[in-house]
Amino acid sequence: MNRKILMNLLKLTVVVSALFWLRGRVDLAGVGKVLAGANFWFLGLAVFLSWTPIFVSSFRWRTLLNTLGISIPLAALACITHIAQFFAVLVPGVAGDDGTRFFYISRLAPGRVKQACSTVLLDRAVGFTSLFVLTAACIPLNWELLSAQPSTRWVGVAFLCIGASLFLFSLLFLGLKRTYLEGLCLKIKMRFSGSSWIGELMDIATVFSGNRGRLCVVGAAALITQIFICCAFCSAGHAVGIHLPLWAWMSFVPVILVAGVLPVTFAGIGVRDYLLFLFLGAAAGVGAGADQIAALSLLMLLSTLFLASLGGVVYLVYKPAKHAVPPVLATV
């Protein structure tokens, strides 16, 4: 309990510090004027683009579950994903999102809990990989902006290296023969024969090694998810007069998303604001003033809270029913 209280105090400290930091950089009246003059259509588009990834994420998750022979209706997964968005705001970091999905999927697949929960972790890994790969692909197109100051330059270099490494690793994994991957999984399973969880993990890895086409589909859907979110930032930016090309947003919004999963604040307050000022402050010539950047950050926060509130409504009305699933791991 004491640890939980300390973590909440830390998060509250970050939020309060961020508000004081912002108060010294922006004029609240100026931010109000920017918001009052914001383009309504671009705002609506930003909210819609932020909402759409929930359904794309549900499709990704269903594809992974189907690969393991676990059949869960897409509508149920969409409800769970909505609810996870709600708890992701209440419990910062991946714990709120993934923890919620662990809880619900264990109820929907009672005979396959470990396998079902493994899809949550795999989906998270694919999502992070897509973030880094997308950033690495867009950084060269926007290097002039990112290299304008040392802090953004080093962040750009780090994400470029990580993204390129993950992309090459993915190509290597997809290029290896199925028999080699299955043999490797078998050797690891035999080497750690005393560990049941490693054995189950290798069984799951064996299934996915023979279904790499589905992993490619999941990876493509993950990229689409990140592009939608970047488009949402771009649309909200246009709403308040920040006119950057989409590929510019794609080069630093994933950095904000990765930083946002750190459990150090509530709803990304502080982290999102600082990084937006950091990156947009380097965007010379786009007319991005401090009041506009603060208004953009506030709009994205309100969008997050609005979508979380929808998840809260789903949480109140959705009652998961148990579905029959095969008792053994599929070997398709």
Answer with the residue of higher pLDDT: 49 or 12. Answer: 49
Q: Identify residue 274 by its one-letter amino acid code.
A: Y
> Which strand (E) or helix (H) includes residue 267?
none
Contact predicate 324/63, CB 8 Å: no
Kindly tell me if the per-residue pLDDT of 21 is higher than 70: no
pLDDT, tens only, 71-98: 889 999 999 999 998 888 777 656 678 8
First-to-last C-alpha distance (Å) of the chain? 45
**Structure tokens of 286?**
């786009």
Contact predicate 84/311, CB 8 Å: yes
Q: How confident is the model at residue 61 (pLDDT cuts 50, 70, 90)?
A: very high
According to DSSP, residue 5 is labeled: H
pLDDT at 80: 92
Burial 32-43 (b: 16+ CB within 10 A, else e): eebbeebeeebb
Mean pLDDT for the stretch of residues 228-244 = 90
Distances (CA, A) of 218 to 1, 48, 269: 38, 22, 30
Predicted TM-score (pTM) of this structure: 0.81
> Three-class SS of residue 190?
helix
Q: How confident is the model at residue 63 (pLDDT cuts 50, 70, 90)?
A: very high
